Structure 1
Amino acid sequence: MTAMTPEDAVRHVVSTDPTFAVEEVEVRGVAVKAFKNIPASVPALLAAGWERHGDGALEYLAYEDETYTYAEFTASVYRMARAMQDELGLRQCDRVAIAMRNYPELLMLVLAISSFGGVVVFVNAWWTTEELDYALRDSEAKVVFADGPRMKRLMPLRETLGLTLVGVRDGEGQTALDFSTLRGAAKSDQAPEVSIDTDDDFAVMYSSGTTGHPKGVVQTHRGAVNAVFSWLMQSVVAPLVDPPEPDAPEPPRPSALAVTPLFHVTATHPVFLLSLPAGAKITLMHKWDAEEAVRLIRDNSITRLLGVPTQSADLMEAAKRMGETLPSLDYIGAGGAKRPAAQVAQLAKTFPNAGVATGWGMTETNALGIGMIGDDYKARPDAAGKLHPPLQELSILDDEGNPVPNGTIGEIAVKGPQIMRCYLNKPEATAETVVDGWMRTGDLGTLDDEGYVTILDRKKNIIIRGGENIACLDVEGALHRHPDVLEAAAFSVPDERLGETVGAAVQLREGTTLTLADMAAFLDGHLAKFKIPAHLWVQHDVLIRGATDKIDRRAIRAACLAKQEAKV
């Protein structure tokens, strides 16, 4: 077979494979390209993947010593969907929250809730009671499935918010309702009979923005499934661009290790949801442990790892210590944060069978966006990659919203069926972010003549710590609760392992002091632990201000980092 260019391969697949046929549709008054023949909804992905999973017979999900065939998993999904309808009285469009670590039940619940037309509300498992209170009020979710630690944080909210709490795993027995009892009470394991429109809401997933509270990103079924099939198409395009040898064996069944939290799009969409039509097996880890990850990949012939850059770096060091090259791995991707450029070649050398990849996407884009793999990435380790075809459009815009020439820095904007419907309860923020169908990402970058995007900075005041987005205003708001803090500015501090950590500069009242330990103790319970500053600069003078007399966060950051550098 003669190798095709990536562009020719995409055109060939779109024109010859009915699965990836494209049509123009109108979504919320905007014309976009979308796949014509794919499933209309997220729960329909279950049926679409049946044949690829051996007509249900293949092992689909593994967690510690538990395994589920695809048929067992599907039956469990539908039983829980029926139980939620019959026992809990839930109906189409009801919002149902999930608050737990990565358990098999989380995957089942995502599909069970969406199977009866409900809307999944993903709750960050690290949030405090205060943060949970905000999200549940904002989403108006009245039913919450929670494991033990999350259940304890939710209990103080049960009466005031009128919550129905359902225990999962170590959360069972803490309230009158348990996951296992509910599932056992179901009268059917057949899919609920409900009509779901492709533009109905699928999920609310919270993302830290520039405001003091996270924004609820409302994702539709159309957005999620079009993102999934955009990734699936890459597996069809790849052998056309890089044809296998004539006598090469059949590629192994894809098998993914889920290592990031399933309340983020990096794990839900390109790992979990993609696994359904791709025929891939999923293995869940109880908690990230690099050496355990090496053992799981080695012993279970796992082919795919997608995590934050810190995890691929940890995996590389653990594999070296253990003398493993993990030959089954054919994909090592990174999302959620930028991977250090030097790490790209190191990973390729340590795992010679794997294509090292990078990706950029957002909760607001159902994780679909930009990426590259292999030689392209090794040649451009500082870049983010190219736009994933064939549905998306991309433009680099100036402050007035006009496209800028290639090579000129501007704000990255994307358009397509994958764009969120809105920010929940925030019409002004939605209108500022989505303009005529174009999603203003808040990331600054350049586009070269070959179509490669390089991300250079952020317009938004966001810190990305190990893949977790942290709003500076969220941290500052919590710091201002301290009686001795007059002003506060939060900003990113470079970190070799996590990429960035949280730093803060504060102005204190005269005659007072504040240590890093004191500050951390004060913020405990107000902020999730990953948001609490790891670095603190204290002064009694006014913080640096700009021309409009507002706090100049960038100047404050530069001054604090200079002081830190001088001490080293």
Structure 2
Amino acid sequence: MTRDPGSLSFEPLTPTSYLDRAAAAHGDRVAVVDGRSRWTYAELRDRCQRLAGGLASLAGGRPVAVLAPNTHVSLEAHYGVPWAGVPLVAVNTRLSVGEVAYILEHSKASVLIQDPSFDALVDEALARLDAPPHRIRAGREYEDLLAAAEPLHLTPTDERALLSINYTSGTTGRPKGVMYHHRGAFLQAVAMVGHTGLTPSSVHLWTLPMFHCNGWTFPWAVTAAAGTHVCLPKVNPAEIWRLLREEGVTHLNGAPTVLSMIAYAQEAAPLDRTVRIATGGAPPSPAILRRTAELGFEVTHLYGLTETYGPAMLCDWRPEWNDRDAAAQARLKARQGVGNMISCVPRVIADDGTDVPADGVTTGQIALRGNNLMLGYLDDPEATLAAVPDGWFRTGDIGILHPDGYVELRDRSKDVIVSGGENIASVEVEQAIMEHPAVLEAAVIAVPDERWGEVPAAYVSLREGATATEAEIVEHVRGRLARFKAPKTVTFTELPKTSTGKIQKFVLRDKAWAGSESRIR
């Protein structure tokens, strides 16, 4: 039987195909470094195919969940699970027993591959389920599964088939299961290769959790470039600096808190090469940008959400900006930027759905669509419709559009402080506070005030060994912003965070507004 000639020019896109190419073209190159273990691309492909073969009969067509740190097991799951013909559910390792149990039940996971370090948590989580998944422990049990399995390599006939389910961090309510498709992950990985400059000589250190948006699709992107994955089970500054030097790391990703840990570690010292860092979650402060530049890091600021496979936008650096002074460069680098190379041009829209003018002043909600948008929320059509009312995904983030087409986040939609009729963007105040040399992290929220209705209040954590007073922080901000934007109070405390490291401002708000019938004044 002759194949349809049209199939000559069409092949369903899937990110797992990157491993096929890497094994064929770079089979003898080191693909994975995990402690003392190393595997080539040929060996990695064989292991992933055997994982697929071992899982196929156990999964029965239902998702396979993985609860493990950044080890070779997590990486192999990004290929072996799809090759078994089922979706991957990468579970956040920082979640509670109840949250893990909920995700396993909601996703209908058939198998759970887990690291032995989570034995106690998994025992409790599975005990809460009426139909717990089949359990496979990493180590001997996992290796025995691979050794006994026949290689399997299933590929999708529909490139928009379900590839993985990633759960939101859930700052309020139950987490939602965000559905990724093969096409979206393939294209997003291509964009990450291009924007971060990955090549076969790249060495990528896994400082970003692979459970976070499937590691921003870098399990596939690094392989697409045939670079080397260096696993890092725990973010430890001393270990990061050892691997930077001994493994010749060229790339890593992480939140601004990770940048701070690396930049101010005791082991920190200038490198003999440039290391590219992609960071998201909050704009890097001018102080961090100065420090990382001194050490040899080149920082790119990204913006995205779970619903967008991670980075949907980035601050695409223009060569002419190199002529600006340090302060101007920091302001430019703090922008969220423009859509990545495979996405649509982002919009900033007013409440009536029209686009705001590109004047760098008028605020609106950032809206996105394109190849790197989710299929929707698992078993939640109402939430999907609410998030995408007209074909554009509403991020819930407030921003402005500069005349040059770059978007800049002004605030989360719930973080706007209205004080005496003036709008204050809490992110702007946080950035100013973060420039203080003693400050590690900062969160600013609105608190009730008899005179002004609302005023900004700052919650600050300091660097180890550093000191600062409330008066110092307030004066520091007043020296950079309008006086009315300075916090009226500063509380020095450890900041509450979600399991993915996001600061939980709602916890701070709950305390500040306790007893109030309304949070709008």
State TM-score, norm by structure 2: 0.75
Pick aligned residue for 2:333 from 372, 376, 381: 381
Partner amino acid, structure 2, of 1:136: L
Q: Secondary structure at the match of 1:204?
A: strand
Give matches, 1:196-275, under 5 Å.
Answer: 196-209=157-170, 211-234=172-195, 253-265=201-213, 267-269=215-217, 271-275=218-222
Counterpart residue number, 1:445: 399
Counterpart residue number, 1:81: 52
Question: Hey, what's the Cα distance between the residues in 1 that align with 2:499 and 2:305?
Answer: 21
Q: What is the deviation of 1:252?
A: 7.3
Give matches, 1:326-341, under 5 Å.
Answer: 326-341=271-286
Cα deviations by residue, 1:368-395 (Å, 9 ceiling, x for unpaired): 3111266655451332222222532211
Q: What is the deviation of 1:286?
A: 2.4
Asked if 2 retains the 8 angstrom alpha-carbon contact of 1:260 and 1:266, the reply is: no
Cα deviations by residue, 1:478-536 (Å, 9 ceiling, x for unpaired): xxxxxxxxxxxxx99454569xxxxxxxxxxxxxxxxxxxxx9xx9xxx9697998987
Give matches, 1:56-455, under 5 Å.
Answer: 56-86=27-57, 88=58, 90-92=59-61, 94-158=62-126, 160-169=129-138, 178-187=141-150, 189=151, 191-209=152-170, 211-234=172-195, 253-265=201-213, 267-269=215-217, 271-318=218-265, 321-322=266-267, 324-351=269-296, 354-372=297-315, 376=321, 378=330, 380-406=332-358, 407=360, 408-455=362-409
Q: Number of residues paired by the alignment? A: 436
Question: Hey, what's the Cα distance between the residues in 2 that align with 1:460 and 1:111?
Answer: 38
Question: Hey, what's the Cα distance between the residues in 2 that align with 1:165 and 1:343?
Answer: 45
Asked if 2 retains the 8 angstrom alpha-carbon contact of 1:210 and 1:461, the reply is: no
Q: Return closer, same or farther for 1:390/1:215 CA change in 2, 3 Å cut-off.
A: closer
Question: Hey, what's the Cα distance between the residues in 2 that align with 1:540 and 1:400?
Answer: 32
Q: Return closer, same or farther for 1:38/1:412 CA change in 2, 3 Å cut-off.
A: farther
Identity of aligned residues (%): 25
Question: Hey, what's the Cα distance between the residues in 2 that align with 1:533 and 1:235?
Answer: 29
Partner amino acid, structure 2, of 1:259: T
Q: Unmatched 5+ residue regions in structure 1?
A: 1-35, 173-177, 239-250, 466-471, 473-490, 499-519, 556-568
Question: Hey, what's the Cα distance between the residues in 1 that align with 2:185 and 2:99?
Answer: 26
Q: Secondary structure at the match of 1:82?
A: helix
Asked if 2 retains the 8 angstrom alpha-carbon contact of 1:210 and 1:460, the reply is: no
Q: Return closer, same or farther for 1:51/1:399 CA change in 2, 3 Å cut-off.
A: same
Q: What is the deviation of 1:155?
A: 2.0
Asked if 1 retains the 8 angstrom alpha-carbon contact of 2:12 and 2:157, the reply is: no
Asked if 1 retains the 8 angstrom alpha-carbon contact of 2:113 and 2:138, the reply is: no
Asked if 2 retains the 8 angstrom alpha-carbon contact of 1:97 and 1:121, the reply is: yes
Partner amino acid, structure 1, of 2:244: I
The higher relative CO (CA closer than 8 Å, separation ≥ 6) is in 1
Counterpart residue number, 1:14: none
Partner amino acid, structure 1, of 2:306: T
Question: Hey, what's the Cα distance between the residues in 2 that align with 1:111 and 1:256?
Answer: 18
Partner amino acid, structure 2, of 1:392: C
Q: Return closer, same or farther for 1:435/1:129 CA change in 2, 3 Å cut-off.
A: same
Q: Secondary structure at the match of 2:352?
A: coil
Q: CA RMSD in A?
A: 3.6
Q: Secondary structure at the match of 2:220?
A: helix
Question: Hey, what's the Cα distance between the residues in 1 that align with 2:394 and 2:108?
Answer: 27
Q: Unmatched 5+ residue regions in structure 2?
A: 1-8, 322-328, 417-425, 431-444, 446-456, 465-494
Q: What is the deviation of 1:405?
A: 1.0
Asked if 1 retains the 8 angstrom alpha-carbon contact of 2:90 and 2:214, the reply is: no
Question: Hey, what's the Cα distance between the residues in 2 that align with 1:272 and 1:119?
Answer: 15
Q: What is the deviation of 1:81?
A: 0.2
Cα deviations by residue, 1:21-52 (Å, 9 ceiling, x for unpaired): xxxxxxxxxxxxxxx97861122221133355
Partner amino acid, structure 1, of 2:47: S
Q: Return closer, same or farther for 1:538/1:404 CA change in 2, 3 Å cut-off.
A: closer
Q: What is the deviation of 1:362?
A: 1.2
Q: Secondary structure at the match of 1:61?
A: strand
Partner amino acid, structure 2, of 1:180: E
Question: Hey, what's the Cα distance between the residues in 1 that align with 2:336 and 2:168?
Answer: 21
Q: Return closer, same or farther for 1:446/1:44 CA change in 2, 3 Å cut-off.
A: same
Question: Hey, what's the Cα distance between the residues in 1 that align with 2:403 and 2:336?
Answer: 15
Partner amino acid, structure 1, of 2:65: A
Q: Secondary structure at the match of 1:161?
A: coil
Question: Hey, what's the Cα distance between the residues in 2 that align with 1:316 and 1:532?
Answer: 20
Q: What is the deviation of 1:58?
A: 0.2
Question: Hey, what's the Cα distance between the residues in 1 that align with 2:247 and 2:277?
Answer: 16
Partner amino acid, structure 1, of 2:103: A
Counterpart residue number, 1:544: 516
Q: What is the deviation of 1:180?
A: 1.5
Q: What is the deviation of 1:292?
A: 1.6
Q: What is the deviation of 1:264?
A: 0.1
State TM-score, norm by structure 1: 0.69
2:17 is the counterpart of 1:49: no
Cα deviations by residue, 1:153-177 (Å, 9 ceiling, x for unpaired): 222343533223433336x6xxxxx
Q: What is the deviation of 1:183?
A: 0.9
Question: Hey, what's the Cα distance between the residues in 2 that align with 1:399 and 1:537?
Answer: 25
Partner amino acid, structure 1, of 2:164: A
